[in-house]
Chains A and B, each alone.
Chain A
Amino acid sequence: MAGPAGITARRWFKPLVFFTALLPLAWLLADGLTNHLSANPIDDITDRTGIWALRFLLLSLLATPLRRWTGRPWPLRLRRMLGLFAFFYACLHLLTWLVLDQFFNWTEILSDIAKRPFITLGLLAFLALVPLAATSTRAAVKRLGPQWRQLHRLAYLVPVLVVIHFWWSVKADIREPLLYAMLVALLLAVRLLRYAPMGASRSSS
């Protein structure tokens, strides 16, 4: 990107992505306020915040391969924001469960975590996201040095956990979790291929 037009585009790019990433929440609020959710709105809120958390995880995983394919730096500039949005929607998803669905009934909450594998996995995935979000600042990257990259390999584990969480939560129609499982597999496979003998190993991920 060169010239004045390029500079303007760059200045607007991140805020634009930021507000776009808030649209799913805006939609949800609008649907809620205009009575466009289903007869069981808490279930809808749970589903929609959960699916957006997963989508943002996938988008953040897409950043590195996209940078390689396009040869341009902009995907990497967005990676942190996308990851943080995944965390944001995951927080909403978890809070919906704790507050709206269970209304702080800790007995039920703890028994669900202990007894229901899909909930256990979901919580594990969330807990794995916490240190990633907490160390997402520039300062933390500097402070942790090479350990930062090791820690952030969790970003490969989380979507796997989330997809299993999703899969185990559906009753019979596994088409949607299957689709996401394939996307996760694909995004992880591109990374493995880089380390295969035939693959080019140019830069770090």
Chain B
Amino acid sequence: MYQPPQVRPSEITPEGVWQQRRRIMQAGALTLAGGALSLALPWPARALTTLGRIRPSPLSTREETTPWKAVTHYNNYYEFGTDKEDPAEQAAGFQTDPWSLRVDGAVHHPRTWALEDLLRGQTLEERIYRLRCVEGWSMVIPWIGFPLADLLRQADPTGKAKYVAFETLYDPKRMPGQRWPILKWPYREGLRLDEAMHPLTILAVGLYGKVLPNQNGAPIRLVVPWKYGFKSIKAIVRIRLVEEQPPTTWSLAAPREYGFYANVNPEVDHPRWSQRRERRIGEFFKRKTLMFNGYAEQVAGLYRGMDLKKYF
């Protein structure tokens, strides 16, 4: 089994120093390139090492964020094990470079994006969002990302596009959890087009100002803060615009327990646990769960007139 390297705190380069070294090396590399050296440079072509400038967002909550250690060591990511602490360990060696993301289906401009092209020219924002897991716990996470709507607009959906279907990478060699049919792989999720275009819906590539750790869905994942966490699909390789409501992994596994919408709703219980309250990670007493995870003001309009007990 893969053992992550043991790194002592003293061996870790402070980020500032690292940035500085990197700039010096890049400057050196540029000089070499300028000298018309056609040799391959020893600098590895990393898709994502830094995120560049990050803009704060008015959509962020001011609540206290959940510590980095909890955000990165308490994950549901069955591709890397079913225990909460498995992904941090099992995803440590996961290669996310190179990575491509295919956007197709009912769009005028289908395209396979290399991740670095997708991020080029993209102004990243910090979005501090509440995350509510269907299991009854929650966190507050400072994501770094950009609105999914930006990408969808570039693809230019046709009149037929009503839903957006997402797919995680399927590669049992790199994702050991996929060797067991615990879920129907690859992981699939979906949104209605208006949900996908909503300004709160983002594609995240980082958290806490850093590149997204593998266990949190690197290199690119969805974040839909008013829905249960399982909607926020990780390690996305394909986004397809479709006419019909796409099948989604958890509702395929247990249709009575997980619906397509999966909006956070304290009034609609999961058959196996109440959704009225939640435990914010790090707190002892449970707190009341808020309708749409506290984003009702922004998103309730999307569901006007819908029976949310039926469309759970």
User: Least Cβ distance of B201 to chain A in Å?
Assistant: 25
B81 nearest CB neighbor, chain A only: A173
Chain A at the B interface: SS class:
helix
Do A108 and B274 touch (CB < 8 A)?
Answer: yes
Does B84 interact with chain A (Cβ within 8 Å)?
yes
Give Cα A7 to B10, complex, Å: 55
**B279 to chain A: which residues have CB within 8 Å?**
40, 42
Interface residue from A39, A112, A171 paired with B282 (Cβ < 8 Å): A39
Does A172 interact with chain B (Cβ within 8 Å)?
yes
Nearest 6 CB-CB pairs, A to B?
A39-B70, A39-B74, A173-B82, A173-B182, A39-B281, A172-B182
Does B89 interact with chain A (Cβ within 8 Å)?
no
User: Least Cβ distance of B2 to chain A in Å?
Assistant: 20
Do A169 and B70 touch (CB < 8 A)?
Answer: no
A12-71 contacts to B, CB under 8 A, are 38-40, 42-43
Max count, chain B CB within 10 A of own CB: residue among A39, A42, A103, A172: A39
Do A40 and B85 touch (CB < 8 A)?
Answer: no
B276 nearest CB neighbor, chain A only: A108
Does B35 interact with chain A (Cβ within 8 Å)?
no
Do A38 and B274 touch (CB < 8 A)?
Answer: no
Jot down 5 A-B pairs with beta carbons below 8 A, ordered by A.
A39-B69, A39-B74, A103-B286, A172-B183, A173-B180
Write the A171-190 contact mask toward B (1 if CB under 8 angstroms, else 0). 11101000000000000000
**A116 to chain B: which residues have CB within 8 Å?**
271-273
Give Cα A103 to B286, complex, Å: 9
Does B73 interact with chain A (Cβ within 8 Å)?
yes
Does A111 interact with chain B (Cβ within 8 Å)?
yes
Does A118 interact with chain B (Cβ within 8 Å)?
yes
A75-109 contacts to B, CB under 8 A, are 100, 103, 105, 108
* Residue count of chain B within 8 Å CB distance of chain A: 29
Give Cα A111 to B276, complex, Å: 12
**A39 to chain B: which residues have CB within 8 Å?**
66, 69-70, 73-74, 84, 281-282
Q: Which residues of B contact A (CB under 8 A)?
A: 66, 69-70, 73-74, 78, 82, 84-85, 135, 137, 180, 182-183, 253-254, 269, 271-274, 276-277, 279, 281-282, 284-286
Kindly list 12 other residue pairs between chains A and B, CB separation below 8 angstroms, not including A43-B137, A171-B254: A38-B84, A39-B70, A39-B73, A39-B74, A42-B279, A103-B284, A105-B286, A115-B269, A118-B272, A171-B135, A172-B82, A172-B182
> Known: A108-B276, A116-B273. Is A40-B182 also a contact (CB below 8 A)?
no
Give Cα A112 to B73, complex, Å: 29
User: Least Cβ distance of A66 to chain B in Å?
Assistant: 31
> Known: A172-B82, A172-B182, A173-B182. Is A40-B74 also a contact (CB below 8 A)?
yes
Give Cα A149 to B242, complex, Å: 65
Does A74 interact with chain B (Cβ within 8 Å)?
no
A116 nearest CB neighbor, chain B only: B272
Do B281 and A112 touch (CB < 8 A)?
Answer: no
Which size bracket describes the interface of A in this complex? 20 to 34
**A42 to chain B: which residues have CB within 8 Å?**
279
A133-188 contacts to B, CB under 8 A, are 168-169, 171-173, 175
Do B274 and A111 touch (CB < 8 A)?
Answer: yes
User: Least Cβ distance of B70 to chain A in Å?
Assistant: 4
Do B84 and A40 touch (CB < 8 A)?
Answer: yes
Write the A112-125 contact mask toward B (1 if CB under 8 angstroms, else 0). 10011010000000
User: Least Cβ distance of A80 to chain B in Å?
Assistant: 34
User: Least Cβ distance of A152 to chain B in Å?
Assistant: 32
User: Least Cβ distance of B107 to chain A in Å?
Assistant: 32
User: Least Cβ distance of A120 to chain B in Å?
Assistant: 11
User: Least Cβ distance of A104 to chain B in Å?
Assistant: 11
**B272 to chain A: which residues have CB within 8 Å?**
116, 118, 168-169
**A112 to chain B: which residues have CB within 8 Å?**
273-274
Give Cα A100 to B285, complex, Å: 9
Give Cα A118 to B272, complex, Å: 7
**A115 to chain B: which residues have CB within 8 Å?**
269, 274
Interface residue from B84, B137, B253, B276 paired with A172 (Cβ < 8 Å): B253
**B253 to chain A: which residues have CB within 8 Å?**
172
